[in-house]
A and B are shown apart, each in its own frame.
Chain A
Amino acid sequence: MKAMMAVMAREVMTRRELPLLAVAVAIMISLLPYLPHIETYEATDVRTVAASVSALALGCVLALVFGATVFGSDLSEGRLGFFFARPVSGLAVWWGRVFAVMALIWIVEIIVLVPALYHVRMRIFTSSNWVEWLTAFAYVIAPLLLFFLAHVVSIAVRAGTPWMFLDLGGVLVVALFAWLNLRPLYEIGAPIAMSVVAGALLAGLLISLTVGGASGVVVGRVDLRRAHSAQSLAMWSTMAICVAATTAYGGWLRDFGPRQFADVDVMTVSPDGNWVEVVGGAKGRLDITRRYLLSTTADRWVPLPTQWHWSDKYATYSPDGSTAVWRGGGPVEEPRSLWRADLGRPDPIARPTNIIVPFEASLTLAADGSRLAILEEGTVSVYELAEERLLKAIRLPEGFERVAAVFVSSNTMRLFAVGEIGGDRSLRIAEIDVVSGGLAATGEIPVVEDNDSFWFSVDADLEHLVVSTRPERSLIWKRAVYDAKNGGFLRELDVAGFPKFLQDGRMMFASEADDGSILLTVETVDGESRLVHTVRAAFGSRIIGEAVPNRVVVSHLVDPHDRTQGIRLALFDVDTGEARNIGSHLRSQARWFPWQSGINIGFFWYCNLPAVSRLFIDQSGALVKWDPESGEIVHVVGGRQ
């Protein structure tokens, strides 16, 4: 330590002019605001920006210059022997010089930063903003990294031994591993994990450069060529260990199955409720999530691409629940392969198809999953899914802009489209014969005016359609029921609340009564039969969905004053008005908008999907389901232990 301090003191004394140079720079920065043209800017801003940039730039430049010369010059000129002819250890020579140079660089940075620090009143030292601390950290780490980097490059270049090939190979291998480690995390969309792995690689690089540089001096001593060989061996050995450890850690972060899920998000649910598309994270895996198609009835799952982008579509199911399709992994906004899984098989596997799906396309499956329709940019392409063969590609006519499509049979598709023809905005209905490719307009509902808000509800059999519109600057929603095939007007609705079709075709409306209870109205499409129930409710109560025919699940806060107590569930009979508790202390329903699913024909469509109404998240974060047969809440997957 004494020898190291002596070396350090000597090196500092040798370069003692540097702080004076920094003081001169700081003074110039302080005077900058008074210069012509610059005086129009805020003086504090000018000083802060100039000081910040100058300090970092000066620190980096000094680090590069010193890194390339402090040892390299002495070694190549044979002057390092002075230290090695004294009772000074190699480590003392190495660290003494490194600490001296780095201390000088950091002092220079601080001095140059003084004008900025003075004007922001040293705010950085009390800041709780991690970005500011990260910036401050850059002032420390960047010169250190550049110093070591310049040192090892300088030794390698000056020595020019065949070890240079190891150095070049090492750089390529490390770059490759960095890419292999970071790319999947970028694609998954896990910025925290990516930062941690990148930080680990950076730390590994710093450690390797330090070990390599120190070994070169300690082992190579006064021999430049031996210094290079010792440096290369030590540096790349250390780097190999660091990269291997980081790769193993990165792999461990990404490699987990649904059994390890802690928190679970449900993205989609198959119409029969037997499969769910879940995204979950696991304990210790930072912000990495994995996607799976997961059976709710058996311990089976199908991995989905971990690559994920907010604009990606979810999995699409056939209405009978036998088939699921989804877009495979690949660059964002690029066409990708379609993947499929036969969910009816005992052990379904994901497999790619030859069908390419454009980025903006939406997918629709026939009832039995035999045919697939891809909607994109005014075209409906229908495929035989089993044979992966294009059956027909139908160009849509003008006015079919926002299109929702659904198979009403294997050979027929019905289209609902909002579009404008000559200033006339309408909801248009058409049917396509997927064998002949013929398109026939079957109806038009001219209720959609410019700037209206609109929602549509459709029943499971696609017989009736409710259009809810609210003109701009109006608080009143108008609702009417139409024939879902020909757009024929049936009647105006005079009940408050968005209508939702029950499985038997009746409409259900929920609205809040004056006393805070929920007013539940159930009526037939023709309006001849109407039942009105009052559901006892409190703050936070909501209708979740029709879990079993004619029975809806209603959730209530266990304690209206304490949301952490979660919710309890009641099953409400829409015919008798009777309610019974089916579960308690759950966190939330698994999927919001349970009515928007099933026959998935677009975001503005309400469709009833009973299976979604039976799925919940419990207080541990696990996905659970209410089993109508046993009446029990059953664990499906996940949850913190």
Chain B
Amino acid sequence: MGIDAVVRLDGLTVRYGKLTAIDDLTLDVPKGGVFALLGRNGSGKSSTVRCLLGQQRPTAGRSEILGFDSWRQRRTAMERVGVVPENPDVPPDTTADRIEKFMARVTPFWRSANFFDRLESMGVPRRQRFARLSKGQQRQFAMALALAGSPRLLVLDDPTLGLDAVARRKLYEELIGELADRGTTVFLTTHDLAGVEGIADRIGILQGGSLLVDEKLEVLKARYCRLTWAATDQVQPERIEAGLQHLGAIGTGLATGATEAVVKKFSEFGFDRFRQEAPVEVMRVDSLSLEEIFIALCGAEPGGRS
């Protein structure tokens, strides 16, 4: 593990009976920035987060947060971790005033002012029971709880679930604006690929419990491209196929008067080899959005259990 790794998963495996939810997952998340763990429903994201937070014991392997074993040293590890769960789990009968007293007792780095300032800025009433807050307010409440202790790691499990577009954007802006400055590492799972594309530094994609991708977003986007060339009978299909192999094609299709291919190893060198092998008229080389990359990678295969 690198010295600056805030999260480390080492051979993490989770099984539910005969079903393998996470299969030998190894992952380092360096300090700072936003790491987004993506995957289809049932790909193993939630199990990964539960293991990471020490809420579930892995069948094999281990997970660490800030150098502490998540399962054995959960209490110590969680002192500098903020968590926003997929479904807000704040006791429904509690109010901000009451939960503040509890948090102040159990969280060493708790700052009540941070908590109340945030609630106030978001317009969340202090004396209203959690269950009576709107879904968006509940999210803000959970976020305020997670951030009030100035965490070194913020774990967000699908934090935009149920939020409208405005609220989602606000949340993401906040993450970039506040946390980047503080040096807080964000570990994020989400289905909101468009939203996360603007804030994530690093991307991990889970498929069937295995990690398909773990790299910086900019690198990922640089190597995934869509090539479009004019349809022709002049070049033998075998040559085109051989040329595409140099670029790591993962799918081809027909467009109007043209042929498309999504490649995962785009490089200048590979592109030159492709053109040598298949002398076609390349009309466009397009970058892919994260969502397109995700669909290209995960669209065909069913997921596992989350």
Chain A interface residues (CB < 8 Å from chain B):
2-3, 5-7, 9-10, 13-14, 78-82, 84-89, 219, 221-223, 226
Bound together, the chains give a CA A9 to CA B81 distance in angstroms of 23
B47 closest partner in A (C-beta): A223
Whether B304 sits at the interface, judged by CB under 8 Å, is no
Q: How far is the CB of B64 from chain A (nearest CB, A)?
A: 16
Asked if B55 contacts A221 (CB within 8 A), the reply is yes
| B103 adjacent to A86 (CB under 8 Å) | yes
Contact of A81 (CB < 8 Å), options: B89, B92, B107 = B89
Q: Which of B75, B91, B106 contacts A14 (CB 8 A)?
A: B91
A77, closest chain B residue (CB): B89
Let me know if A81 and B55 touch, CB within 8 A: yes
Q: Are B57 and A226 in contact (CB under 8 A)?
A: yes
Q: Besides A5-B105, A86-B106, A88-B106, 7 other CB < 8 A contacts?
A: A3-B106, A13-B98, A84-B53, A85-B55, A85-B89, A87-B76, A87-B108
Asked whether A85 lies within 8 Å of B85 as measured between CB atoms, the reply is yes
Q: Which residues of A contact B90 (CB under 8 A)?
A: 82
Complex A-B: 22 CB contacts under 8 Å = A2-B105, A2-B106, A3-B106, A6-B102, A6-B105, A9-B105, A10-B94, A13-B98, A14-B91, A78-B87, A78-B89, A81-B53, A81-B89, A82-B90, A82-B91, A84-B54, A85-B81, A86-B107, A88-B78, A221-B55, A221-B56, A223-B55
Q: In the assembly, what is the distance between CA of A418 and CA of B282, in Å?
A: 131
Decide yes or no whether B239 CB sits under 8 A from chain A. Answer: no
Nearest B residue to A5 via CB reads B105
Taken together as a complex, chains A and B put the C-alpha atoms of A3 and B83 apart, in Å, by 18
- For A7, A13, A84, the residue with the greatest tally of chain B CB atoms inside 10 Å of its CB is A84
Contact in complex: A222, B75 (CB < 8 Å): no
Q: How far is the CA of A6 from the CA of B83 in the complex (A)?
A: 19
B273 at the interface (CB under 8 A from A): no
- From A3, A9, A80, A221, residue with most partner B Cβ within 10 Å: A221
B91 proximity list for chain A (CB < 8 A)? 10, 14, 79, 82
Interface pair A222/B57, CB less than 8 Å apart:
no
A221 to B89, CA, bound (A): 14
CA distance A3 to B79 in the complex (A): 12
- Return A383 CB to nearest CB of chain B, in Å: 68
CA distance A5 to B102 in the complex (A): 9
A621–B128 alpha-carbon span in the complex (Å): 76
Find chain B residues with CB under 8 A from A79 CB: 89, 91-92
B79 surroundings in chain A (CB, below 8 A) = 87
- Interfacial residues of chain B within 72-116, with CB under 8 A of chain A in the complex: 74-76, 78-79, 81, 83, 85, 87, 89-94, 98, 101-103, 105-108
- B residues at A contact (CB < 8 Å): 50, 53-57, 74-76, 78-79, 81, 83, 85, 87, 89-94, 98, 101-103, 105-108
User: Using Cβ atoms and an 8 Å threshold, which residues of chain B touch A10?
Assistant: 91, 94, 98, 101-102
CA of A53 to CA of B56 in the docked complex: distance in angstroms?
A: 44
A27 nearest CB across to chain B (Å): 26
Contacts of A226 in B (CB 8 A): 56-57
| Contact between chains at B55 and A222 (CB < 8 Å) | yes
Instruction: Establish whether residues B75 and A88, one from each chain, have CB atoms under 8 Å apart when the complex forms.
Output: yes
B85 lies within 8 A of A81 (CB): yes
Complex formed: what's the CA distance from A7 to B53 in Å? Answer: 20
Q: Cβ of A84: which chain B residues have Cβ within 8 Å of it?
A: 53-55, 74
- Minimum CB–CB distance from A600 to chain B (whole Å) comes to 73
Alpha-carbon separation in the docked complex, A601 to B260 (Å): 118
Contacts known (A14-B94, A78-B89, A82-B89); A223 close to B56, Cβ less than 8 A: yes
Q: How far is the CB of B159 from chain A (nearest CB, A)?
A: 13
Minimum CB–CB distance from B24 to chain A (whole Å) comes to 21
Kindly state the separation between the CA atoms of A221 and B75 in the bound complex, as whole angstroms.
12
Residue of A80, A84, A86 with most partner-chain B CB within 10 A? A86
- Contact partner of A222 (CB less than 8 A), chosen from B50, B92, B107, is B50
Are B75 and A85 within 8 A (Cβ)? no
A87 to B65 Cα, complex, angstroms: 13
Taking CB atoms, residues of chain A closer than 8 Å to B103 are: 86
Give, as a whole number of angstroms, the nearest-CB distance from A99 to chain B. 15
Alpha-carbon separation in the docked complex, A88 to B74 (Å): 8
Across the interface, do B75 and A89 meet the contact criterion of CB distance under 8 Å?
Answer: yes
Measured CA separation A223–B56 after assembly (Å): 7
Q: For residue B107, which residues in chain A have a CB less than 8 angstroms away from its CB?
A: 86-87
Contacts of A5 in B (CB 8 A): 105
Is B98 in contact with A87, judged by CB distance below 8 angstroms? Answer: no
Report the 6 A-B pairs with minimum CB-CB distance, sorted nearest first: A6-B105, A85-B83, A82-B89, A87-B78, A87-B79, A222-B55
Q: B89 near A87 (CB under 8 angstroms)?
A: no
B57 contacts A219, C-beta separation under 8 Å: yes
Knowing A6-B102, A14-B91, A81-B85, say if A86 contacts B56 (CB, 8 Å).
no
Closest residue of chain A to B76 (Cβ to Cβ) is A87
Residue of B whose beta carbon sits closest to that of A88: B106
Bound: A81/B88 CA distance, A: 9
Closest to B98 in A: A13
Q: In the docked arrangement, what's the CA distance between A223 and B46, Å? A: 12
Q: How far is the CB of B157 from chain A (nearest CB, A)?
A: 10
Would you call A3 and B105 a contact (CB within 8 A)? yes
Complex-state Cα separation, A226 to B56, whole angstroms? 9
> In the complex the two chains form, what is the Cα distance from A314 to B273 in whole Å?
111
Given contacts A221-B55, A222-B50, A226-B57, contact A86 B78 (CB under 8 A): yes
B33 CB, min distance to chain A CBs, angstroms:
22
- Residues of B with C-beta under 8 A to A219: 57
Most A CB within 10 A of own CB, among B75, B103, B106: B106
A78 to B56, CA, bound (A): 13
B56 touches A85 (CB 8 A): no
A6 to B108 Cα, complex, angstroms: 13
Most buried by A among B53, B75, B98: B75
Closest residue to A10 on the B side, CB-wise?
B102
